[in-house]
C-alpha cells in the first residue's frame, strides 16, 4: 500500500520524478501527476482505468499562473476566478500547446482550478509545473474524501498519499465555461449556481454526456457504488424491499426509519443542512457499499443550493439501475 503522510517535500520529489501522488483538496482527493509530462498523464489514465475521451482537470497555485498554459480568460470567467479562487470552481479555458491532447482528450480547452486546501496550495507553489489531478478513485466509482479512501482503492498503484484530513466540501468542483457568448455550467459541484449567478447573471446548465464529453465529469453514469443503487420515494422503496425480503441499506436526508436496523441506514444531515449533506455524501455511499446488502436505496434532496449538485451525483450513481428494484434482484 502507499505511504500516507503530510510531507510536501516527499510529494514534490515524487511528482518531479514522474510519479503519481494522492493529494487533498477541499472537494475530493486527487490523483496528481505533472501536467506537462505526457508519461505521467498517461499513468493517471492507466491507474484510474479512465477512458481517454474523458478530459482531466489541471490544478495550479494561483490565478496568475493560469496564463502559463492558457491563452486568455474571458471577462465573465475572470470575475468568477477573482471571486471564488481558491475554491471549488473549475474554468474551461483555451489551452496553449504545452498542454497535451491527452490531458484535454483532444479538445481546444483545458479545465483549470486553484484548490482551497493549504497542503495542496503549498505543494503546487513549490512546483515548476501544474498538476493534472482527477479524483483519486477507479474510474466511475465513488470519489474519495479521506486519505484512507485513496489507499483502499489505489494504494497498490501509487507510492504516496498526502494526508490533508477530511475534505471540507466533499463534492467535486463546479465546472464553468463559455458557449456562444453565454456562461455555461458543465458540471454541478461544490460552488452552487446561485453563487455563480450572483457574479455573472443567468447561466446555462449542460451537465450530461454519454460519450466524448466537453469537460471532465459529464458522463451520465458515474460516482457509482458497486452495489445496485436505486433512487425514488424512500418509504415506498423500503416497504417494497421488506415485502420482497431483500437485504438493503438506506441513504436518507432528514429521515429515520424505525423498522430498519440503525446500522443499515445513514442520514446525510439529520438537521437538513445541505452543506453537511454534501460533505458526507461520498463517505456515506462508500460505507453503504461495504455492507452485506443486495441494494442501496436513496432519495433526491431539495433542488436548491448544493442539493442540485448532490442530486446530480445521486442520479448518475443510479443511472445503470433505471428499472429500479426489480433490476437489482
Residue 187 annotated in ligand binding = yes
Residue 173 annotated in ligand binding = yes
Q: What is the pLDDT of residue 324?
A: 55
Residue 275 CB coordination number (10 Å) = 16
Per the CB < 8 A criterion, the answer to whether 178 and 139 are in contact is: no
What grid cell was written down for 317? 450513481
CA distances, 145 to each of 82, 298, 321 (Å):
26, 20, 25
Residue 289 CB coordination number (10 Å) = 18
Residue 309 annotated in ligand binding = no
Query: Cα(54)–Cα(217) distance, rounded to whole angstroms?
Result: 8
Q: Which residue matches cell numbers 489505489?
A: 154
What grid cell was written down for 41? 498523464
pLDDT in tens, the chain (329 residues): 999 999 999 999 999 999 999 999 999 999 999 999 999 999 999 999 988 778 999 999 999 999 999 999 999 999 999 999 999 999 999 999 999 999 998 999 999 999 999 999 999 999 999 999 999 999 889 999 999 999 999 999 999 999 999 999 999 999 999 999 999 999 999 999 999 999 999 999 987 655 456 777 666 667 788 999 999 999 999 999 999 999 999 999 999 999 999 999 999 999 999 999 999 999 999 999 999 999 999 999 999 999 999 999 999 899 876 545 654 43
Query: Cα(92)–Cα(112) distance, rounded to whole angstroms?
Result: 6
Residue 76 annotated in ligand binding = no
Query: Cα(116)–Cα(261) distance, rounded to whole angstroms?
Result: 38
Q: What is the pLDDT of residue 328?
A: 42
Q: What is the pLDDT of residue 216?
A: 77
Backbone angles phi, psi at 295, to 5 degrees: -155, 150
Residue 113 annotated in ligand binding = yes
Question: What is the chain's Cα-based Rg?
Answer: 19
Per the CB < 8 A criterion, the answer to whether 66 and 110 are in contact is: no
Per the CB < 8 A criterion, the answer to whether 234 and 295 are in contact is: no
Q: What is the pLDDT of residue 206?
A: 87
Query: Cα(227)–Cα(224) distance, rounded to whole angstroms?
Result: 8
Residue 211 annotated in ligand binding = no
Domains of the chain: residue spans and CATH: 3-205 (3.90.870.10), 229-328 (3.40.50.11030)
Query: Cα(140)–Cα(4) distance, rounded to whole angstroms?
Result: 24
DSSP 171: S
Q: Note the residue count of the chain.
A: 329
Residues 6+ positions from 297 with CB-CB distance below 8 Å: 230, 232, 234, 237, 238, 241, 248, 249, 250, 251
Residue 222 annotated in ligand binding = no
Residue 133 annotated in ligand binding = yes
Helix (H) or strand (E) holding 87: none
Q: What is the pLDDT of residue 327?
A: 43
Residue 141 annotated in ligand binding = no
CA distances, 20 to each of 17, 122, 234 (Å):
9, 17, 41
Three-state DSSP at 34 gives strand
Backbone angles phi, psi at 178, to 5 degrees: -115, 135
Amino acid at each position: 500500500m502507499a505511504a500516507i503522510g503530510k510531507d510536501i517535500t516527499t510529494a514534490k520529489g515524487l511528482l518531479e520524478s514522474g510519479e503519481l501522488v494522492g493529494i487533498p483538496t477541499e472537494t475530493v482527493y486527487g490523483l496528481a501527476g505533472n501536467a506537462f509530462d505526457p508519461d505521467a498523464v498517461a499513468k493517471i489514465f492507466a491507474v484510474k482505468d479512465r477512458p481517454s475521451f474523458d478530459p482531466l482537470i489541471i490544478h495550479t497555485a494561483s490565478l496568475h499562473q493560469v496564463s502559463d498554459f492558457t491563452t486568455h480568460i474571458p471577462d465573465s470567467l475572470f470575475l468568477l476566478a477573482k471571486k471564488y479562487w481558491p475554491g471549488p470552481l473549475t474554468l474551461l479555458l483555451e489551452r496553449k500547446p504545452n498542454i497535451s491532447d491527452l490531458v484535454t482528450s483532444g479538445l481546444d480547452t483545458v479545465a483549470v482550478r486553484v484548490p482551497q486546501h493549504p497542503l495542496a496550495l503549498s505543494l503546487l507553489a513549490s512546483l515548476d509545473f501544474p498538476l493534472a489531478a482527477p479524483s483519486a478513485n477507479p474510474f466511475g466509482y465513488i470519489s474519495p474524501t479521506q486519505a484512507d479512501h485513496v489507499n483502499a482503492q489505489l494504494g497498490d498503484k501509487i507510492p504516496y498519499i498526502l494526508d490533508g484530513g477530511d475534505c471540507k466540501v466533499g463534492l467535486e468542483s463546479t465546472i464553468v465555461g463559455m458557449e456562444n457568448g453565454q456562461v455555461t455550467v458543465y458540471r454541478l459541484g461544490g460552488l452552487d449556481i446561485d453563487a455563480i449567478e450572483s457574479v455573472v447573471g443567468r447561466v446555462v446548465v449542460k451537465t450530461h454526456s454519454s460519450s466524448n464529453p466537453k469537460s471532465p465529469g459529464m458522463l451520465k453514469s458515474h460516482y457509482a457504488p458497486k452495489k445496485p443503487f436505486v433512487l425514488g420515494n424512500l418509504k415506498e422503496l423500503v416497504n417494497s424491499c421488506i415485502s420482497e425480503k431483500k437485504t438493503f441499506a438506506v441513504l436518507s436526508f432528514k429521515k429515520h426509519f424505525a423498522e430498519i436496523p440503525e446500522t443499515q441506514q445513514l442520514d446525510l444531515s439529520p438537521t437538513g443542512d445541505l452543506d453537511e449533506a454534501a460533505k458526507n455524501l461520498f463517505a456515506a455511499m462508500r460505507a453503504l457499499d461495504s455492507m452485506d446488502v443486495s441494494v442501496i436505496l436513496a432519495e433526491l434532496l431539495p433542488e436548491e443550493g448544493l442539493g442540485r449538485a448532490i442530486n446530480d451525483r445521486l442520479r448518475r450513481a443510479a443511472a445503470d439501475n433505471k428499472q429500479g428494484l426489480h433490476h437489482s434482484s
